[in-house]
C-alpha cells in the first residue's frame, strides 16, 4: 500500500497539470515552508550559528531550454556570493542542461566548480532519474580531473551502487537511499538498507570522504560505528539531512561534535522536490492534505 502511494506521488511529481493545481493554491505555503527555505540567507545564517554545515540547492530540474539552463548557472553564481567558506552547493545536472547535451551540463557545472573553489565552497552533484545516472558519472569523472573535490551522489536502491562506491575511491561521495524509481531497483526497505550498509562499509574503508545522507536512526548508528572501526575521526566523514526533517537529531549530532550538514533547497521551482518528500513518508501526505482543508 505504502509502495503504491509512493509510486503514485512520484508519478504526480512529474505531472504539469498537478503542478499547476498544487502550486496555484496559496494553501500549500505552510507545507512548502517546512521543507523549502523562504529566505535562504537567513536560514543559512541560523543553521551555521547553531554549528551546522549547509549544502544549498537552487531548486529546478529537467530543464529543456538553453536559456533556462544558463539562468540556473547564474543563480548558483549569485548563491556562491552569499555562502560562508566551508559550505557546499548541491547541483542537479538536469537543471544545467543534461537533457539537452552532456557537454552543456559539463560546461555549466565546470563554471560553478571554478567559482565555488575561489570561495572555498564545495560542489556536490545530486543523483536524479535512473536514465541520467551514466551522464552524471561521466560528468563527475571529467570534472574531478580539474576539481578533485567535486562530490557525487550514489543511490543505494540501485543494484550497482556498491560497485559504484568501490570505483569512486578517493572521491567525496554522498550515499542516500534514493528518491526516485528505477527499473531493477531495490524496493523492499530491507534490501535498500542492506545495500546502504554495504556501500557505507566500502566508503568508510576507502580513501574518499563519505557523506552519510539519511534520517534513518539505525543507519546513523551503523555509520558512526563503522567510522570508529575504520579509524575515521569526526573530520573524516559527515552526516547529511534535509532541511525540515529531524532537526532535533541534526542538533544532537552537531552537539556531539559530528560534522552535520543540512541540505537547504530554495527557489520557486519547489513542486517536484516537495512531492518527493511527500512520497518518502506517507504520513506527510496526511499533513499536506490536512493543511489544504483546514483553512
Ligand atoms: P527513510 O527510511 O525514508 O526515513 C527514515 C526516517 O526519517 C523516517 O522514519 C522519518 O522519521 C524520517 N524522514 C525521512 N524522510 C522524511 C520526510 N520527507 N519527511 C519527514 N520525515 C522524514 N535522493 C536522491 O535520489 N538523490 C539525491 O541526490 C539525494 N540527495 C539527498 C541529500 C540529502 C542530504 C538527504 C538527506 C537525502 C537525499 N536524497 C537524495 C533523498 C534520499 O534518497 C531519501 O529519499 C530520503 O533521505 C529518505 O530516506 P532516509 O534515508 O531518510 O530513510
ipTM for the assembly: 0.97
Q: Are residues 117 and 259 in the same domain?
A: yes
Host domain of residue 31: 1-36+279-295
Q: Are residues 138 and 176 in the same domain?
A: yes
Question: Is 174 in the active site?
Answer: yes
Q: How far is CA 5 from CA 9, 11, 271, 286, in A?
A: 6, 10, 17, 12
Q: Are residues 183 and 257 in the same domain?
A: yes
Let me know the angle formed at the C-alpha of 215 by 214 and 218, rounded to the nearest 5 degrees: 90
Distance 39 CA to ligand 1 centre (A): 22
In a domain, 208, yes or no: yes
Could you say which of 57, 88, 126, 269 is catalytic?
A: 126
Q: Is 135 a pocket residue for ligand 1 (Cβ < 6 Å)?
A: no
Distance 274 CA to ligand 1 centre (A): 12
Beta strands in 218-288 (DSSP E): 238-242, 260-266
In a domain, 128, yes or no: yes
The whole-angstrom separation of Cα 114 and Cα 65 is 23
Least confident of 3-12, 73-82, 146-155: 3-12
pLDDT in tens, 5-54: 778 778 877 777 777 767 766 657 778 888 999 999 999 999 999 999 99
What pLDDT was estimated at residue 284?
A: 72
CATH number at residue 130: 3.20.20.220
Q: Are residues 234 and 291 in the same domain?
A: no
pLDDT at 177 over 90: yes
The whole-angstrom separation of Cα 110 and Cα 86 is 19
Q: Are residues 139 and 19 in the same domain?
A: no
Residue with the smallest CA separation from ligand 1 atom 1 is 216
Mean pLDDT, to the nearest integer, of 237-250?
97
Are 288 and 294 a contacting pair, CB within 8 Å? no
Q: Are residues 89 and 204 in the same domain?
A: yes
Least confident of 52-56, 114-118, 287-291: 287-291
Residue % of the chain over a pLDDT of 90: 79
What's the pTM?
0.94
Q: Are residues 45 and 136 in the same domain?
A: yes
Q: Is 277 a pocket residue for ligand 1 (Cβ < 6 Å)?
A: yes
Q: Are residues 74 and 206 in the same domain?
A: yes
pLDDT at 290 over 70: no
Q: Are residues 42 and 11 in the same domain?
A: no
Q: Are residues 32 and 98 in the same domain?
A: no
In a domain, 54, yes or no: yes
In a domain, 66, yes or no: yes
What pLDDT was estimated at residue 56?
A: 98
Per-residue DSSP letter, 37: B
Q: Is 176 a pocket residue for ligand 1 (Cβ < 6 Å)?
A: yes
pLDDT at 61 over 60: yes
In a domain, 274, yes or no: no
Distance 280 CA to ligand 1 centre (A): 7
Q: Is 45 a pocket residue for ligand 1 (Cβ < 6 Å)?
A: no
Q: Are residues 79 and 103 in the same domain?
A: yes
Number of structural domains, the chain? 2
Q: Are residues 16 and 114 in the same domain?
A: no
Mean pLDDT, to the nearest integer, of 269-280?
88
pLDDT at 117 over 90: yes
pLDDT at 248 over 70: yes
Amino acid at each position: 500500500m505504502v509502495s503504491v502511494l509512493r509510486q503514485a506521488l512520484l508519478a504526480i511529481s512529474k505531472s504539469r497539470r498537478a503542478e499547476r493545481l498544487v502550486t496555484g493554491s496559496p494553501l500549500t505555503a505552510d507545507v512548502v515552508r517546512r521543507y523549502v527555505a523562504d529566505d535562504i540567507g537567513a536560514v543559512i545564517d541560523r543553521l551555521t550559528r547553531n554549528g551546522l554545515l549547509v549544502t544549498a540547492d537552487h531548486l529546478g530540474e529537467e530543464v529543456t531550454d538553453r536559456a533556462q539552463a544558463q539562468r540556473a548557472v547564474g543563480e548558483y553564481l549569485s548563491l556562491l556570493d552569499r555562502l560562508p567558506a566551508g559550505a557546499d552547493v548541491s547541483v542537479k545536472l538536469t537543471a544545467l542542461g543534461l537533457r539537452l547535451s552532456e557537454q552543456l551540463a559539463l560546461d555549466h557545472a565546470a563554471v560553478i566548480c571554478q567559482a565555488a573553489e575561489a570561495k572555498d565552497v564545495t560542489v556536490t552533484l545530486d543523483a536524479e532519474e535512473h536514465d541520467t545516472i551514466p551522464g552524471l558519472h561521466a560528468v563527475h569523472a571529467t570534472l574531478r580531473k580539474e576539481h578533485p573535490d567535486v562530490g557525487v551522489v550514489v543511490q543505494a536502491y540501485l543494484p550497482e551502487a556498491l560497485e559504484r562506491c568501490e570505483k569512486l575511491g578517493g572521491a567525496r561521495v554522498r550515499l542516500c537511499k534514493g528518491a526516485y524509481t528505477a527499473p531493477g531497483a531495490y524496493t523492499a526497505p530491507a534490501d535498500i538498507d542492506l545495500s546502504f550498509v554495504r556501500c557505507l562499509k566500502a566508503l568508510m574503508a576507502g580513501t574518499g570522504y563519505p557523506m552519510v545522507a539519511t534520517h534513518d536512526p539505525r543507519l546513523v548508528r551503523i555509520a558512526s560505528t563503522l567510522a570508529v572501526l575504520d579509524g575515521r575521526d569526526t573530520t573524516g566523514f559527515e552526516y547529511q539531512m534535509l532541511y525540515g526533517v529531524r532537526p532535533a537529531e541534526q542538533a544532537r549530532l552537531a552537539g556531539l561534535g559530528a560534522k552535520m550538514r543540512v541540505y537547504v533547497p530554495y527557489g520557486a521551482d519547489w513542486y517536484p522536490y516537495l512531492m518527493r518528500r511527500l512520497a518518502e513518508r506517507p504520513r506527510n501526505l496526511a499533513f499536506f492534505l490536512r493543511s489544504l482543508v483546514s483553512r
